[in-house]
C-alpha cells in the first residue's frame, strides 16, 4: 500500500490534467463494471436468487456509506468542504422520514421480493462482503482525509455503470418492478456530482508527488474493495 518511492525520486508533481488522467486510468481499467458477476448481470444471465443475493450484499455496502462519509466529514476543516460532504449523508439517509438512498435501496429489495428485516440482518451477508465493507470503512477511519476522499473517486465511473444497469434491469429482469429502480436513477446525477466535487478536493489537496501517488493508490485500493465484494457474492451460493 505504500507508494513506490524510487518512482517519485526527484520528479515534480504531475500537472492537474495528467494527475486527473492517471486517476481516471485506474477506474477505466479496474472498476467493478468489468467484474464477471456484473458482466453476467448486464447480459441478463443472473438467476432471481443471484440477483437477490447481490441486492442484499450491496445493501450492506450502502448502509455503511454514510458511516464512512461521517468519518471523512470529521477530517475536513473548512465549512464549505463539510457542507458539500454533508450532502452525501443527506443523500443516503434523507432529511426526513421519507428517506433517501438507503430507503430507496430497501424498496429495490422489496421490489425483488426481499423484506426489510432480511436486508438489515447482517448475519445473512457473506463474510467476504462484510470484510470488504469493513476494510473500506476502516481505511477511511485511519487514513488521512485525502486518501479517503480519493477512494470515493470510483464514482467517476459509477454513472455510466448506473445507466448500463438500468437498461439491463428493464430489459432482462422485468419481474423487478420499475419503481424499484429509483435508487439507480437518482445515482446517475448524484454520483456525477459527487465525483466532480471529490476530484476538485483531491486536486486541491494532493500537491506533492507523494500525495498524488497516495491518491492513486487509495483509488486502486477502493477498486479492490468493490472487486472483492463481488467475488464474495459470486461465490457464496448456488
Ligand atoms: O452500484 C454501484 O456500482 C455503486 C458503486 C459505487 C462506487 O463506485 O463506489 C458507489 C455506489 N454505487 C453508490 O450507490 C454510492 O452511493 C456510492 C458512494 C461511494 C463512495 O465511495 O463514497 N461509492 C458509491
**Over the stretch 70-126, which tens digit does the pLDDT of each residue have?**
999 999 999 999 999 999 999 999 998 888 999 999 999 999 999 999 999 988 899
| Ligand 1 contacts CB of residue 155 (under 6 A) | yes
**Residue tagged 443475493 (cell numbers):** 53
Q: 6 in a domain, yes or no?
A: no
CB 202 within 8 A of CB 150: yes
Q: 74 in a domain, yes or no?
A: yes
CB 88 within 8 A of CB 69: yes
Q: 4 in a domain, yes or no?
A: no
Domain count, the chain: 1
Q: 2 in a domain, yes or no?
A: no
Q: 7 in a domain, yes or no?
A: no
Kindly report, residue by residue over 28-66, the tens digit of the pLDDT: 999 999 999 999 999 999 999 999 999 999 999 999 999
Residue 124 has a pLDDT of 83
**Distance in Å, CA 167 to ligand 1 centroid:** 18
Q: What is the mean pLDDT of the chain?
A: 94
Kindly report, residue by residue over 133-142, the tens digit of the pLDDT: 999 999 999 9
Residue 237 has a pLDDT of 75
Does the ipTM exceed 0.85? yes
Q: Cα(235)–Cα(238) distance, rounded to whole angstroms?
A: 8
Q: Cα(223)–Cα(236) distance, rounded to whole angstroms?
A: 20
**Distance in Å, CA 155 to ligand 1 centroid:** 6
Q: 139 in a domain, yes or no?
A: yes
Q: 8 in a domain, yes or no?
A: no
Which mutation among 32, 65, 194 tests ligand 1's pocket best, with the greatest number of atoms within 8 A of CB?
65
Q: Cα(235)–Cα(132) distance, rounded to whole angstroms?
A: 14
Q: Cα(108)–Cα(114) distance, rounded to whole angstroms?
A: 9
Q: 138 is in which domain, residue-wise?
A: 13-235
| Ligand 1 contacts CB of residue 161 (under 6 A) | yes
Q: 3 in a domain, yes or no?
A: no
Domain of 166, CATH number, reads: 1.20.910.10
| Ligand 1 contacts CB of residue 187 (under 6 A) | yes
How much is the average pLDDT of 151-177?
96
Atom of ligand 1 minimally distant from the CA of 155: 8
Burial annotation 84-117 (CB, 10 A radius, 16+ → b, else e): bbebbbebbbeeeeeebbbbbbbbbbbbbebeee
Amino acid at each position: 500500500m505504500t507508494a513506490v518511492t524510487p518512482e517519485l525520486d526527484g520528479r515534480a508533481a504531475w500537472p492537474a490534467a495528467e494527475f486527473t488522467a492517471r486517476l481516471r486510468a485506474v477506474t477505466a481499467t479496474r472498476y467493478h463494471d468489468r467484474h464477471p458477476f456484473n458482466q453476467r448481470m448486464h447480459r441478463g444471465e443472473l438467476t432471481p436468487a443471484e440477483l437477490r443475493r447481490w441486492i442484499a450484499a450491496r445493501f450492506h455496502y450502502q448502509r455503511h456509506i454514510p458511516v464512512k462519509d461521517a468519518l471523512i466529514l470529521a477530517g475536513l476543516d473548512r465549512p464549505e468542504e463539510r457542507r458539500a460532504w454533508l450532502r452525501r449523508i443527506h443523500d443516503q439517509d434523507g432529511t426526513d422520514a421519507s428517506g433517501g438512498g438507503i430507503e430507496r435501496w430497501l424498496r429495490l429489495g422489496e421490489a425483488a421480493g426481499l423484506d426489510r428485516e432480511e436486508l438489515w440482518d447482517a448475519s445473512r451477508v457473506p463474510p467476504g462482503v462484510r470484510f470488504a465493507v469493513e476494510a473500506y470503512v476502516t481505511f477511511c477511519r485511519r487514513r488521512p482525509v485525502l486518501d479517503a476522499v480519493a477512494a470515493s473517486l470510483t464514482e467517476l465511473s459509477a454513472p455510466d455503470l448506473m445507466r448500463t444497469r438500468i437498461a439491463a434491469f428493464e430489459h432482462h429482469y422485468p419481474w423487478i418492478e420499475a419503481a424499484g429502480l429509483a435508487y439507480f436513477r437518482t445515482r446517475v446525477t448524484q454520483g456525477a456530482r459527487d465525483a466532480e466535487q471529490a476530484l476538485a478536493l483531491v486536486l486541491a489537496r494532493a500537491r506533492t508527488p507523494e500525495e498524488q501517488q497516495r491518491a492513486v493508490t487509495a483509488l486502486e485500493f477502493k477498486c479492490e474493495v468493490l472487486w472483492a465484494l463481488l467475488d464474495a457474492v459470486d461465490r457464496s451460493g448456488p
